[in-house]
């Protein structure tokens, strides 16, 4: 049997279909609720898996569409977009009959791929439409930090903003433009919050009334409240204002000269507590404290704009300094240790908020008797009590100052609790003393700081104690005693020897200050004299008129009170005079030289008595021997003259004997002793 081949055409006679409904998800719950309106007149298209448009339908008054008589195969459906509405996307957790089947797999408003076979009618392929909305407005720099956008305040660029759903999940984000504007456009109407990323160095401004247009809507974390956007109308007033942190800084210094300014070289005070307190422009109370660093600086960073005060905790006797004309180095602290009413703006740094302080100071020293008048205090030199010291000057507050104190038993004085300033000290000389020469030594604790009782100006700085402002004084001295007639010429003043009046005396010398002294006196009726008010130094006493007397032996005997202190040239030895010396042992012994005279005659009758007519004999040698009252042996001789006379003159008083050297023709009849 022969085979027979013949072609056959087969047709798929199954009747598949797709149908569904379009509704308005008014409450945006992604679920088709029974009371939600359907959408009529919306075009719906059917596509093959290859993307070919196969059919088109328009929803009826019930919002329904339908595609029937479809051969088995794979299809997807696309519904048309509606202005200000967005498709509700499929949510697997929602039951199929009330779910939206939009997946956008094949474009906006498309379903996923639908497989049709065996005469299946796919129902409830529904399209939900939710209202679309627009959210946006402005992020700005709130320069006056009042929470309200002012015309002069500018927007902030590149601020990141997140759109948060009700679970605070970030569903979208955007950045502000150059003008600070931002927008979330055509987003599903829903309940949202916005999170504004806080830029470094800024913080959210006040949220005074978030419902008012132009007010900032964010809290201190940068997040708004949740807003419900179900009506589809745009929300164009979700604003966010940011304020830049400010700072306050300054330094604390020991204002040594109390001029109210920090000057080079003045001490910067570390570890001092500074307290900041006040109220921000948003009404928040602020309290903070910090300590100054090793450079005396303090810095409060990240301070919100507002009105503030600074309190400086003073210790160790510090007092607020002057409050001068302001500059960056001036003291701003008032007498109550505060800097008040500091207005801090957004991003502002208040520099130079300085605290200048000072401490009271002291001047002290000693008044001492400078015995050797070398202007240096030495161990054996004592202090002088009950001496008045006057301090005068002007303090750094421009106040005239005059104070008086008195030295204690050791000669010490002190002026304490002084405001720094310029001062000097004065001590008035007394009737019986004067001042040592001004002298400054490297060791300032031992020198004399007064010039004729007045010190140089002392610049007294904060906290300083000028301890050794000393006054060396010395008392006037005197020198003298008596000019006497040394009757027996032994160089020793004896009770029966009288004074000599009218002897001229000159005292020559040089004081320890180098001043030349020349004073003249004459001895009084009793032979006494005294040079008074002598300044310590070296002196020599000279006899200028000895009244024809001779000078007795210099410093005879062992008692300085009764010897003669003038040598044979009429001058004393150098006399060293110290402070407060009353030298009453400078005595001057004068004597008259003795003479012995007589005559040699021939005793015609040998009775030892010259009788008229007894002739004088010339050429006879007379010899004088003996011991003067100084103990010196004396031997002298002479010859009788033509008249028989002889004389021995110019001898010290003493015990003498005269003898005659006889010729062959004569002999003495009576030996004699003088």
Written as one string, the DSSP assignment of 603-640 is -TT-SSS--TTPPB--S-EEEEEEEETTS-EEEEEEE-
Per the CB < 8 A criterion, the answer to whether 549 and 577 are in contact is no
Contact between residue 137 and residue 227 where contact means Cβ atoms under 8 Å apart: no
Structural domain of 466: 361-475
Higher-confidence position of 655 and 253? 253
Whether 617 and 599 have beta carbons less than 8 Å apart is answered as no
Region 373-379: what's the mean pLDDT? 88
Do 314 and 372 lie in a common domain? no
CB-based contacts of 517, cutoff 8 Å, min separation 6: 507, 508, 509, 510, 511, 534, 535, 537, 539
* Pairing status of strand 504-511 against strand 537-545: antiparallel
Work out whether the CA dihedral 264, 267, 272, 275 comes out positive or negative: negative
Does the residue 673 lie in any domain?
A: no
Nearest to 41 by CA among 86, 85, 79, 89: 79
Q: Would you say 400 and 394 are in contact if contact means Cβ atoms under 8 Å apart?
A: yes
Residue 257's nearest CA partner among 248, 249, 266 is 266
What secondary structure does DSSP assign to 545-572, as a single string? E-TTPEE--TT-SS-TTTB--B-TTSBB
pLDDT in tens, 120-155: 999 999 999 988 889 999 999 999 999 899 999 999
CA distances from 385 to 362, 382, 410, 432, 579 (A): 20, 10, 6, 15, 17
CA distances from 592 to 254, 493, 637 (A): 82, 15, 21
Q: Which of 453, 475, 497 marks a domain boundary?
A: 475
584 and 517 in a common domain:
yes
Examine the domain organization and report whether 260 and 185 are in the same domain: no
* Beta pairing partners, 475: 433
Residues 6+ apart with CB under 8 A from 252: 268, 269, 272, 274, 292, 296, 298, 312, 354, 355, 356, 357
User: Are residues 160 and 190 both part of a single domain?
Assistant: yes
Q: Specify the DSSP element, H or E, that contains 133.
A: strand 127-141
Q: Are residues 485 and 459 in the same domain?
A: no
261, 267, 271, 276 alpha-carbon torsion, rounded to 10°: 0
Distance (Å, whole) CA 462 – CA 466: 11
Per-residue model confidence as pLDDT tens digits over 611-646: 888 888 888 888 989 888 778 898 988 888 898 888
If asked whether residues 270 and 340 sit together in one domain, one would say yes
Domain count within the chain: 6
| Separation CA 647–CA 593 (nearest Å) | 13
Average pLDDT of 591-599? Answer: 85
The structure tokens 């090793």 sit at: 294
**Residues 86-94, mean pLDDT to the nearest whole number:** 92
Residue 674 has pLDDT above 80, yes or no: no
The whole-chain average pLDDT of the chain stands at 91
Q: For 345-351, what is the mean pLDDT? A: 96
Please say which residue of 560, 591, 622 terminates a domain.
591
**Which of these three, 194, 209, 244, is where a domain ends?**
244
**pLDDT reported for residue 83:** 87
Judge whether 672 lies within some domain. Answer: no
Helix (H, G, I), strand (E, B) or coil at 296: coil
**Residue 1 within a domain:** no
CA angle 461, 464, 466 (to 5 degrees): 105
**Cα–Cα dist 228/280, whole Å:** 32
Count H helices, E strands: the chain? Answer: 0, 50
602-610: average pLDDT: 82
Q: What is the pLDDT of residue 8?
A: 46
Indicate if 109 and 46 belong to the same structural domain.
Answer: yes
Q: In whole angstroms, give the CA distance from residue 360 to residue 417.
A: 5
Same domain, 354 and 380: no
Q: Check residue 439 and give its pLDDT.
A: 77
Residue 122 neighbours by CB under 8 Å, 6+ apart? 16, 17, 18, 19, 114, 116
d(CA 157, CA 136): 14
Residues 488 and 529 placed together within one structural domain of the fold = yes
Are residues 29 and 99 both part of a single domain?
A: yes
Which structure tokens are listed for 265? 């070289």
Banded pLDDT at 669 (limits 50, 70, 90): low
C-beta separation of 33 from 54 below 8 A: no
Least confident segment among 7-21, 283-297, 532-546: 7-21
Domain CATH number, residue 489? 2.60.40.10
pLDDT score for 252: 97
Checking if the pLDDT of 203 tops 60, the result is yes
Can you give the pLDDT at residue 597?
A: 85
Contact between residue 634 and residue 627 where contact means Cβ atoms under 8 Å apart: yes
Query: Does the residue 282 lie in any domain?
Result: yes
Query: Between 360 and 83, where is the model more confident?
Result: 360
DSSP letter, residue 516:
E
| 156 lies in the same domain as 259 | no
Whether residue 181 is contained in a domain is answered as: yes
353 pLDDT more than 90 = yes
CB < 8 Å & 24+ apart, contacts of 324-328: 324/259, 324/260, 324/261, 326/352, 327/261, 327/352, 328/352
| Alpha-carbon gap, residue 155 to 159, rounded angstroms | 10
Which token pair is 478? 């005197």
Per-residue pLDDT, averaged over 15-28, amounts to 92
Is 277 a member of any domain? yes
Domain membership flag for residue 158: yes
Helix (H, G, I), strand (E, B) or coil at 644: coil
pLDDT over threshold 80, residue 572: yes
Strands 16-24 and 127-141: parallel
Residue partners of 431: CB distance under 8 A and separation at least 6: none
For residues 179 and 223, membership in a common domain is answered with yes
What pLDDT is recorded for position 673? 46
Q: Is 674 domain-assigned?
A: no
């Amino acid at each position: 049997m022969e085979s027979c081949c013949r072609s056959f055409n087969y047709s798929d006679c199954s009747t598949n279909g797709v149908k569904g409904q379009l509704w308005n998800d008014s409450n945006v719950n992604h679920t088709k609720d029974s009371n939600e309106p359907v959408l009529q007149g919306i075009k719906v298209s059917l596509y093959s898996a290859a993307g070919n448009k196969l059919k088109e339908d328009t929803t009826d008054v019930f919002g329904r569409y339908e595609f029937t008589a479809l051969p088995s195969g794979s299809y997807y459906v696309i519904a048309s977009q509606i202005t200000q509405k967005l498709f509700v996307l499929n949510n697997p957790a929602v039951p199929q009959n009330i779910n939206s089947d939009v997946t956008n797999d094949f474009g906006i408003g498309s379903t996923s791929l639908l497989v049709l076979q065996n005469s299946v009618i796919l129902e409830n392929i529904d399209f939900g439409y939710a209202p679309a909305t627009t959210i946006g407005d402005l992020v700005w720099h709130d320069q006056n930090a009042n929470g309200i956008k002012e015309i002069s305040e500018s927007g902030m660029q590149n601020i990141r903003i997140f759109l948060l759903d009700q679970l605070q999940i970030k569903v979208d984000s955007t950045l502000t433009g150059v003008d600070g504007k931002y927008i979330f456009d055509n987003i599903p109407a829903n309940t949202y919050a916005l999170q504004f990323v806080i830029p470094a160095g800024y913080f959210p401004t006040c949220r005074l009334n978030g419902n008012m247009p132009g007010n900032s809507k964010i809290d201190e974390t940068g997040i708004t409240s949740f807003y419900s956007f179900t009506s589809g109308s745009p929300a164009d007033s979700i604003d966010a204002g940011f304020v830049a942190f400010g700072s306050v800084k300054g330094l604390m210094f020991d204002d040594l000269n109390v001029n109210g300014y920090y000057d080079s070289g003045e001490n910067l005070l570390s570890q001092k507590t500074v307290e900041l307190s006040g109220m921000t422009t948003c009404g928040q109370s602020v309290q903070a404290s910090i300590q100054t660093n090793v450079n005396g600086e303090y810095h409060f960073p990240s301070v919100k704009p507002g009105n503030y005060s600074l309190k400086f905790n003073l210790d160790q006797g510090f007092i607020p300094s002057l409050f001068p004309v302001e500059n960056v180095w001036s003291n701003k602290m008032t007498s109550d240790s505060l800097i008040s009413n500091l207005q801090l703006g957004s991003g502002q740094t208040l520099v130079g908020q300085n605290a200048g302080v000072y401490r009271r100071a002291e001047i002290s020293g000693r008044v001492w008797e400078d015995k050797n008048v070398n202007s240096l205090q030495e161990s054996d030199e004592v202090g002088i009590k009950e001496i008045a010291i006057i301090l005068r000057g002007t303090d750094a507050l421009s106040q005239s100052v005059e104070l008086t104190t008195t030295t204690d038993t050791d000669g010490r004085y002190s002026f304490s609790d002084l405001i720094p300033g310029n001062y000097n000290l004065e001590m008035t000389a007394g009737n019986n003393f004067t001042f040592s020469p001004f002298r400054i030594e490297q060791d300032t604790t031992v020198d004399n700081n007064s010039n004729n009782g007045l010190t140089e100006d002392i610049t007294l700085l904060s906290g300083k104690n000028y301890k050794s402002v000393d006054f060396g004084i010395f008392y006037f001295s005197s020198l003298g005693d008596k000019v006497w007639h040394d009757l027996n010429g032994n160089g020793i003043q004896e009770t029966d020897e009288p004074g000599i009046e009218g002897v001229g005396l000159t005292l020559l010398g040089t004081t320890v200050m180098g001043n030349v002294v020349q004073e003249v006196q004459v001895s009084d009726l009793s032979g006494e004299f005294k040079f008074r008010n002598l300044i310590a130094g070296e002196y020599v006493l000279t006899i200028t008129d000895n009244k024809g007397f001779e000078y007795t032996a210099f410093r005879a005997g062992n008692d300085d009170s009764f010897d003669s202190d003038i040598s044979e040239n009429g001058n004393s030895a150098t006399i060293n005079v110290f402070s407060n010396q009353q030298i009453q042992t400078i005595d001057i012994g004068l004597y008259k030289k003795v003479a012995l005279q007589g005559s040699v005659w021939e005793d015609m009758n040998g009775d030892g008595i010259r009788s008229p007519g007894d002739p004088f004999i010339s050429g006879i040698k007379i010899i004088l021997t003996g011991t003067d009252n100084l103990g010196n042996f004396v031997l002298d001789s002479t010859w009788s003259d033509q008249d028989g006379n002889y004389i021995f003159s110019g001898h010290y008083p003493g015990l003498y004997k005269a003898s005659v050297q006889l010729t062959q023709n004569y002999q003495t009849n009576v030996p004699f002793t003088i």
